[in-house]
Amino acid sequence: MGLLLDPQNDQDIQCVVDKILNFGYEELNITDIEPYASQYAIVRQNLTRLLKNGGKARQSWLLGLASSPTVTVLVGDRKNPYHLNSLCLQHHSLHFRSLLIDIPFGQPTPELRLPDVDEIAFDTFTQWVHFRHGSGTDSTKANNDPLHASRLFHCYTLGDKLQASRFKKYILGKVHDYFRENPATPVTSDQIRSIYDDTSEKNDPLRRFCMQKMCMQTSTDETWAEQAFFELMGEAGPMMDDYLEGREEFEAYESEGKDASLFMFE
């Protein structure tokens, strides 16, 4: 895959190094070095020499990533497993880090199973880990498709489960993009229930966003007239608290003469 390097050719190696040094090591994307990974066993000494001005942390991350083992992950009912870079998973997910960090170097990694994870959402996560974008997250092609919002919500709650904070931030941005471009699409009571059930933090930003959207999309009387929402609020707890707070904030926002459509995004 990718370029074949002459391990004795400093110019070839320097091309790789120049590409790598365009990225901070913490943001390094596996696909930025994957085409060259098979060459690292040969060019490691030269890379170390050429990277000496890049800092020890970057050297350690780069060379560790190149030699990191592959992890097999089985998701949902999917028959074909994922084969993913261990260090890359640990870098982006505290959940995977807790499972993999204590495995000695050179020892086989266990087969990891995630039976209750949405397969489409995990596809998006793996693509984001490798390419910094996820399939199916482009809101410009959604055209008020309510299923698009649900897919984004599933991705976000997966990020919460995997303790992948950067992935959650990425998906939250996509949620904002979608509702900016598709303002007529409502947030449903079932979606809100799922988000509260599948996120762990009391002040989670997606919880807050969806409650603000609920407050904006219907009046108080209309909202309470919906049977599903009435049952939801009957459970009290965080959902009720967040709804009442959101309603109060929205009414104050409107009273100041501000554009109601911008309420959720401020």
CA distance 62 to 21: 10
CA 153 from chain centre, in angstroms, equals 11
CA distance 89 to 258: 43
Q: Tens of pLDDT along the chain (266 residues)? A: 233 445 455 555 555 555 544 443 444 444 444 444 444 444 455 455 545 555 555 555 555 565 677 888 999 887 778 888 887 788 889 999 999 888 776 677 778 999 899 999 998 998 888 776 666 556 555 565 667 899 999 999 999 999 999 999 999 999 999 998 888 888 988 999 999 999 999 889 999 999 889 888 877 777 666 777 778 777 778 888 888 898 888 888 888 888 877 887 77
Helices and strands per DSSP (H, E), number in the chain: 14, 3
DSSP 201: -
Contact 109, 88 (CB under 8 A): no
> To the nearest 10°, the Cα dihedral for 155, 156, 157, 159?
90
Measured from the Cβ of residue 122, the count of other Cβ atoms closer than 10 Å reads 20
For residue 210, give Cα distances in angstroms to 36, 37, 55, 65: 43, 43, 43, 38
pTM (2 d.p.): 0.73
CA distance 10 to 5: 10
